[in-house]
Amino acid sequence: MGGFFTNRGGSLTVNVAFLEKLTMSKVIRSVIVLAVATISGALAAAPVGTPPAGEIAIRVDDLTIDANEFEGIFAAAVRHKYYHGQVPAEELKRFRQKVAQDIVIQVVVHRDAERNGLQPGRENIAREIEKYEAKYGNSPEWQAHREQVIPQLALRMERQNLLEKMEAKVKRLPEPGSQQVRAYYRANPDKFTEPERLRSAVILLPVPPSAGEEAWFATEARALQLRSRIDNGEAFAALAKQYSGHPSAVNGGDLGYLHQGILEPEVQQQVDALEIGGITDPIRVLDGIVLFRLNGVQPSRLMSFAEVQQRAAGLLYREIQDQAWRNYIRELKTGADIYVNENLYAQNDHE
């Protein structure tokens, strides 16, 4: 399998597809690090003034990425993010924009890291490469590409390491004081409010997965009989202990307080419609037929500052760090000569 990119200087022959397999990750950033590192290496090796092959897709100062190179990066990002290797049509434009912007961000951050004199942790990188050697050393594919892959693997790791170090440097900020945290708590009550919870109980009458419709109808009839007995005064908990096949039967079917979304949507809808003490009609679920009883409601509650102070401090600090990072990226982009071809986003399909 060939690489993604045009060989600008006559020496770029690394098998990027194989390298991508070695460094497989769901983090799109690592894919783009690999790709941009490869392109940067080719640019350094190219004669001055060598034009890119094809239409320019992205330019950041003196680094250009042509349309073919962008499509290679984009294809790799798609493989990492989307299980079937296909971007849903409604997400395609947004995802192409994200990949393009991530390329720009990585280029400007990496260059700023170099300007700041940051150095990659080469000893740790060497140890990581030794792990690849130990893991893949007996692989014929590794042996066939080893001499080409190791330098590019090291380059990718060095670039990733510099990006991480620069981000850590920017986000190394004083933690907020208690007054800031308290003000944040007061300004964001929705972040510290426990949602309403319902206390429910269940009777499950199991039906084997292989059973036919006749068994389901018979079990539903049994559930209706139990419902009638409860309506006539028998205790739900006693019948749950006697007939339910759910683990909660030992507790009279009591499930405790449940957050919204724990129950299946059809079940949740019927439980939500109950008054306290009310019982649902029989409901067919995967394991059989169920009856639910609403035992109580715990209203939503704003937790006290003492309960959430540590979490509030963590949330505020992350927001401060994230804002500092956004400001930093904005400043870098403002100071760079950046061009992104809008035609990149006009693509409406991707094979």
Domain boundaries along the sequence of the chain = 16-173+325-346, 196-299
Give the long-range contacts of residues 264-272, CB within 8 A, separation 24 or more: 267/292, 271/198, 271/200, 272/198
- The CATH number of the structural domain formed by 16-173+325-346 is 1.10.4030
pLDDT tens, residue order, the chain (351 aa): 332 222 333 333 334 444 444 444 333 455 555 455 554 544 444 433 333 446 888 999 998 888 888 888 888 888 888 878 888 989 999 999 999 999 999 999 999 999 999 999 999 999 998 998 888 888 888 888 888 888 888 888 899 999 999 999 999 999 999 999 999 999 999 999 999 999 999 999 999 988 899 999 999 999 999 999 999 999 999 999 999 999 999 999 999 999 888 888 899 999 999 999 999 999 999 999 999 999 999 999 999 999 999 999 999 999 999 999 999 999 999 999 999 998 887 754 444
Model pLDDT, residue 35: 52
Q: Supply the DSSP symbol for 346.
A: G
Q: Bridge partners of 283? A: 290
Widest pairwise Cα distance in the chain = 91
The one-letter amino acid code at 351 reads E
User: What whole-number distance in Å separates Cα of residue 316 and Cα of residue 199?
Assistant: 33
Do 16-173+325-346 and 196-299 have matching folds? Answer: no
Model pLDDT, residue 28: 46
Tokens of 146: 């080893």
User: What whole-number distance in Å separates Cα of residue 98 and Cα of residue 101?
Assistant: 5
Other CB atoms within 10 A of residue 88 CB: 9
Which CATH fold would you assign to the domain 196-299?
Chitinase A; domain 3 (3.10.50)
Element (H, E) at 67: helix 67-81
The one-letter amino acid code at 182 reads R
Residue holding tokens 């956004």? 326
Model pLDDT, residue 347: 55
The CB-side HSE value for 86 (13 A sphere, CA atoms) comes to 5
Supply angle C-alpha 235, 236, 241, rounded to 5: 100
Q: Supply the DSSP symbol for 258.
A: E
Express the helix, strand and coil content of the chain in percent, nearest 5 each.
60, 15, 30
The one-letter amino acid code at 260 reads Q
User: What whole-number distance in Å separates Cα of residue 243 and Cα of residue 214?
Assistant: 20
User: What whole-number distance in Å separates Cα of residue 290 and Cα of residue 240?
Assistant: 11
Pick the closest to residue 65 from 92, 46, 83, 40 (CA basis). Answer: 40
